């Protein structure tokens, strides 16, 4: 199989929607993120809560898309199977990066920091707020494990979904939440000619952030 390299190399979009200066952003990066996220909601960006989560295990990076479930001054929250590939990576190396890309806004936000597990009570609360189908999925899927075929997974799901509604589906012990505690934010605004705007916040102490501009 061959790709049309000439066509691929010609793919190009000039970003011209907006400009970004340090003074355009609040002093706390979580407040800046909320402004951008709210705009993504207003503009009906497809899955604005989708973020690329990158981990490193034995010096080998790995990325996947997950959904953010909360983001405030305490950090970025998401949920997963602790036995999954990303869960094993985070056990070994609890540092990670997440990246949000909103092409309609010509913007992205990158956040780096330390990962901690949420208290079990928080994971329980979120698990039982999910649709029953999602609860069943978390139980049925041994995430990242090899399975013989799709039928194996479908049969597990069918068994769980055939249970009466009054039967509580138990949250697996190995399923729960993580919080990324940020020490670095980067806000990126696309500009014409690839001369983009990049504004960075770096942690400078408790509730204190140092803001600066980076060359694109």
Residues designated as active site: 194
Buried b (16+ CB within 10 A) or exposed e, 11-25: eeeebeeeebeeeeb
132, burial (CB in 10 Å: exposed 0-12, middle 13-18, buried 19+): middle
Other CB atoms within a 10 A radius of the CB of residue 75 amount to 19
Contacts of residue 187, Cβ cutoff 8 Å, sequence gap at least 6: 20, 25, 29, 32, 36, 107, 109, 198, 199, 200
């Amino acid at each position: 199989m061959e790709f049309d390299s000439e066509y691929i190399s010609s793919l190009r979009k000039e970003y011209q929607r907006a400009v970004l200066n340090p003074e355009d952003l609040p002093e706390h990066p979580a407040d800046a993120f909320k402004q951008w996220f709210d705009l993504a909601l207003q503009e009906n960006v497809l899955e604005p809560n989708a973020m690329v989560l990158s981990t490193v295990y034995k010096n080998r990076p790995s990325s996947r898309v997950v959904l953010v479930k909360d983001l405030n001054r305490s950090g970025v929250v998401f949920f997963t199977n602790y036995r999954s590939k990303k869960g094993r990576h985070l056990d070994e190396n609890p540092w990670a990066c997440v990246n949000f890309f909103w092409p309609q806004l010509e913007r992205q936000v990158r956040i780096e920091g330390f990962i901690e597990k949420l208290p079990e009570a928080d994971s329980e609360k979120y698990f039982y707020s999910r649709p029953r189908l999602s609860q069943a999925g978390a139980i049925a899927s041994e995430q990242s494990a090899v399975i013989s075929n799709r039928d194996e997974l479908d049969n597990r799901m069918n068994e769980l979904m055939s249970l009466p509604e009054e039967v509580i589906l138990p949250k697996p012990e190995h399923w729960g939440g993580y919080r990324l505690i940020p020490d670095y934010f980067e806000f990126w605004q696309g500009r014409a000619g690839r001369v983009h705007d990049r504004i960075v916040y770096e942690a400078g102490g408790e509730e204190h952030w140092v803001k600066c501009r980076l060359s694109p």
